[in-house]
Amino acid sequence: MNKKGIFTAVLAIFTLVIFTFAYYKIVFAPKTNYREVIGQNQVKLYESYIDGEKIALYIDESAKQAAYSAILDLAGNGGYSKDVLSDCGNVVGYNIWYINGKECYPKNLKDRLSKNFVEELDKYLANYEVILFNDENIKGLRDFFNIHVDDGDKIEIYGKSREKYIFGVKTPEEYKIKYEMNPDFKQEINYNFGDYNELKIIMAEPIRLCKSAECFNRVIDKKNYDWEIVDRDEYVLFKVNTKKKIFNDDVVVKFAIRTNP
């Protein structure tokens, strides 16, 4: 066989090998099913949407419970935040509203309610975590809101998220899909701060006249509230049921006074 014949045979064999390899890659190699990928993306995006709605619902319910607790705690502390005492002091857990001529009635009630609310909301949100898309780091919800309180006929508490929550979907082909949400909330509570001002007015004359629980029980006009008044050493302690309810609990304002020198 001459050299030309040998070369032709080798070329034919080489060509056959190339075509065989190409055929194998085309027929047997894994294929990308783009319809399947798109379907997976839709499912994952829907799952992200559901996750977002779960978070929104959890935040809303947490805000509701936190609002109830914050209002009840504010009343139980005589209109003061948990960690802020009256300038007149505190006796056995009762903030003092009046002591020997010095008035320390609660002020800035919206700010104090807001502080109580944030502390209560933190308890619910501290352990709730989500995965953010941008850096895939786990980030808690507790520091995500600016809180604003309005007081009119009702107390309204607004929570505005400082940034968006972004949920990510990655496909096998590294396509990326984002679902964004602002988990803001608003809570309306059928209560206002009017009781604090009314109690201040009611107490004005009895404080001038009385030095003991017996006298206060006799002099105070009790038609609007249920009063529990007791002596405690040189102080008089007041527990006033406003006859208003937050959820199933009575709003009870507690405070103390001292008129003895």
Same domain, 246 and 136: no
Q: Which range of residues forms the domain containing residue 181?
A: 35-77+107-189
Strand runs labelled E in the chain: 90-91, 94-99, 102-103, 129-131, 138-140, 145-151, 155-161, 165-170, 176-181, 185-189, 226-232, 235-246, 249-258
Give the residue from 257, 230, 220, 227 showing the smallest Cα distance to 242: 227
Q: Give the confidence band of 40 by pLDDT, cuts at 50, 70, 90.
A: low
The pLDDT value given to residue 9: 53
5 within a domain of the structure (yes/no): no
Task: Say if residue 55 is in the same domain as residue 133.
Answer: yes
pLDDT band at 230 (very low <50, low <70, confident <90, very high): very high
Q: Give the closest residue to 99 by CA, choosing from 87, 83, 81.
A: 87
pTM for the structure as a whole? 0.75
pLDDT at 191: 92
Same-domain check for residues 161 and 225: no
Quick check: 32 pLDDT over 80?
no
Q: Is residue 157 part of a domain?
A: yes
Question: Which among 49-53, 76-80, 180-184 has the top mean pLDDT?
Answer: 76-80
Contacts of 128 (CB under 8 A, 6+ apart): 55, 58, 140, 141
